[in-house]
Structure 1
Amino acid sequence: MRLFAIRDYRHLFSAQIIALFGTGLTTVALGLLAYDLAGPSAGLVLGTALTIKMVMYVMIAPLAAAYVDRLPRRMFLVGLDVVRAAVVLALPFITEIWHIYVLIGVLQTASAAFTPTFQAVIPDIVSDKAQYTRALSASQVAYTMESLLSPVLAAVALSFMTFNGLFLGTAVGFVLSAVLVLSTRIPNAHPSAHAKAWDRASAGIKTFFRTPRLRGVMALNLVVATAGSIVIVNTVNHVRDALGGSQVDVAWMLAASGGGTLLAALALPRVLDRVSDRTVMMTGAVVLVAGTIAAASLAATGELGWVGTAMIWFVVGAGMALIVTPTGRVLRGSVQPNEIPEVFAAQFSLSHLAWLITYPIAGWMGTNLGFTATWSVLAILAIVGAAAARFLWPHCDSFVPLSEPLVGEAWDTSATSDTGIAAGTLAECQCAVAHVS
């Protein structure tokens, strides 16, 4: 409650929730719009649109992180919300499939600049380290709640309106988000420690590649994307064509995945008090591998009915939460405080790079080759990602970041406590250095 007593953070958090729910409603409505325009090829259209989204996220996020220290951040965020509202308002009026691609490109460019900028603002609003950790957790809870409640709200709304009404609701949400951001006192960013734009844009990515646990996070991003793309891209065609369901059924099936995410997220705080982040995240990888294999297997036998689909979607949602929820803790515990914006921007970009790989597979292969072949390929990718994560993130690297002193140098425990990193042993440091070399 002390965290939400901070007025500016409370307004920003409210803006985040409203914008998230608007984005969630857009996701449901976009799938239904694609089906309305393309019919059986909706998966192909949706996969292409989401691929465009991922390209924008991968390219724009590092650039936004590089230049945001030179812009008035409050007005920058407000302007991005206004752009997103305008684009969403235009979506119900399109008549051609290529219109979707153009508008989605503009919309996701704005979102790709908004998210890392928003994340970099929070440490300046919440200066206390303990409260900042809670702010990270609160953001993840918001994402979790959105994944559950957006499909439910969409299902309720679709019972008395067409999916075009969802776009209107999304636009209103972005406008409210802009008003809340405008009401906050957001300081301008501190000048980056890196003089060159390329150094500012690439600093976080370099940190990922030279830190064992963060390389493991990159591999786990692929596991999340393989399972998540099945749910996000293929649900509309699977429910409407294979199961003969309605628009409302699509929303409820997406809510099944959100339910798994929510229940796992509610259980995780106590679990993470006793179990390491690595163990929880690796367990999530196993769960997602099992979910993708089950989906491919049941699709091959023709036995993936309503109950089976709902159960697998629920399991996938839970597995995604087991990986995504602790990720912020791992990032925060792997860098110094002044490097936090860079590493979060890098995670935003690199995680969406994984989705850039899996979205086209789910959309294009799903349309042309069917669900069995598509989900089999995604299951193989999930296995590869899980195996790579286990290799890249050694078990003994639970505490030691690469930036800590090497073997034989002094170990500054006070510095590690300031960054939330538990003091490591010499053996752990040796293990981390061995895996780096």
Structure 2
Amino acid sequence: MEPLWAGLVLLVILFILLCSGLWVAFSLLGVGVAGLALFTQAPVGQAMATTIWGSSNSWALAALPMFIWMGEILFRTRLSEDMFRGLSPWLTRLPGRLLHVNILGCAIFAAVSGSSAATAATIGRMTIPELHKRGYHPLMSIGTLAGSGTLGLLIPPSIILIVYGVATDQSIARLFIAGVFPGLMLVVLFMGYVILWSLLHPEGVPGEKEKPSWRERLVALKFLAPVTLLIMAIIGSIYAGLASPTEAAALGVVFSLILSWLSGSLNRESFLAALMGAVRTSAMIAFILAGAAFLTVAMGFTGIPRELAAWIGGMHLSPYALIAALTVFFIVMGMFLDGISVVVLTTSVIIPMVEQAGLDLIWFGIYIVLVVEMAQITPPVGFNLFVLQGLTGRDILTIARAALPFFLLLCIGVVLIVLFPEIATWLPSRMGAH
């Protein structure tokens, strides 16, 4: 049990470092140094140097800054405005009407962004004033955006799936493809809830004065064409085995620059702003990954993951009981840390348990992203809540209350992929990428 006591000491050190306001990357490095210095005879400096270099020198990581840059470029275009114009004529007869623009708009932008916060901010900036002006229920407008914004983490290309793939040595192409059906499942759950809610609360959904003709609907499709082609180019090239995720990311950057130029949004200022935004975010994530890789090596030397996995194994938990315990654990972690930090902090300890339980690591990647999505809309550190607070000016508790039904829908999503793992595993099993 000695390694478990060591683990408890290191957990306290990590908690102290994070609460002191130290950057997550430095906190991870600090705990790794403490683990090696206090509980092993391993050379700290040599282990740190080789691990940080090894974790940084990864071809799979090249996709990360590319997808982030693509999202930053599109964040500064008129893409969200065009999506609103393209989607709204098709949704006027559906119960809930333009509330579905939040859900479908977020799903579409998620497929070219990879970031939850960027998805919520981009779509929200366009739809919230429009829905308010037309008289839609304010809490429902905010709730649909809070819930659907989380799709940025799941629908490929997903930044957090790249981080998970690098941390666990899994195929990023397979993880991307595995996220498609669970993402569509959440879209259906969200839209189904909005339809049900609007039938029960018709006063929250104003009637549209004008009914668009079929001709107007078909004309509106031209506004959706650019982003649809971009999604097909990225996801289609990966699924068909024509491009690796890194190559697809480079294609995405080229196409997004062309889209930005054609829309008149590309100039020197927007180009530099997108580039610097991508550099800042990529550097932060790469630094966290380097710290996490060093902590993983330190944990290996201390024997904590092996001992913990054996201890959990000795409890003879069923896979369902293990998943239930991990779900509570990840939600609590996600209340205080961002999603990427949760993934990199926990993989070194959790993955041995998951492998021992016989769970598929591709499936587990989708499961962990779904649970982290739930944490994005839970106080006190729900990043989507902060984004919407900035957009609407409402207090965080009001926004959390609006997001609660979508948190519960995400819980249903987790239950569904646990009961029917094929939702996540069927499509990757059909593709030829390795």
Taking structure 1 as the reference length, the TM-score comes to 0.30
Taking structure 2 as the reference length, the TM-score comes to 0.31
